[in-house]
Structure 1
Amino acid sequence: MSITQQYLLDTYRARQHDEAAPPAPGVHDWQVVREWRDERQFRAVLAGRPARARTRIQHAMSRRPRLVRRSTG
């Protein structure tokens, strides 16, 4: 059974019992990745190694769109 089929089955069962639907597959994936990265950095600091990864703010600032000025000709 695939993840999608299991999700649909769980959603169907939740509706039958008037319960809240479960979260869709993949909804919390990025949060899990962030928590894993934070844990890895924390363990590196405890072991005396530098935590080399960029902070979330630095990462977000590097991805922001840059304004491009058009030359008027």
Structure 2
Amino acid sequence: MHQYVFDAYRAAQLGEPMPPAPGTHDVAVLRSVRDRRRFERVLAGRPARGGLRTAVRSAVRAVLRRRPGPGVC
């Protein structure tokens, strides 16, 4: 945030256009990262969708397997 304020002040002094506010392009960056990962999965011959869901499901199952059953203290 401090860097943005410095850049905005400098742009105002020099008559340049203001820089974009912090967080303006975050969604676009996250989408491009997601698309790139999907593309790399296709190139590797893996399904393009469901990678995160599969990873979360396997992690949850691993945690549930480690928990003791009901009635065990």
Given the two structures, how large is their TM-score scaled by the length of structure 2?
Answer: 0.66
Query: Does 1:51 find its partner at 2:51?
Result: no
Q: Which of the pair has more CA radius of gyration?
A: 2
TM-score by length of 1: 0.66
- Tell me the equivalent position of 1:25: 22
Find runs of 4+ consecutive structure 1 residues off by over 3 angstroms.
Answer: none
User: What is residue 35 of structure 1 aligned with on the other side?
Assistant: 32
Give the number of the structure whose residues are more often helix, by fraction: 2
Query: Secondary structure at the residue paired with 1:11?
Result: helix
1:14 paired residue number: 11
Cα deviation, 1:4-51, whole Å, max 9, x if unaligned, reads 111011000000000000001100000000000000000000000011
Give 1:38's aligned amino acid: D
Q: Give the aligned length.
A: 50
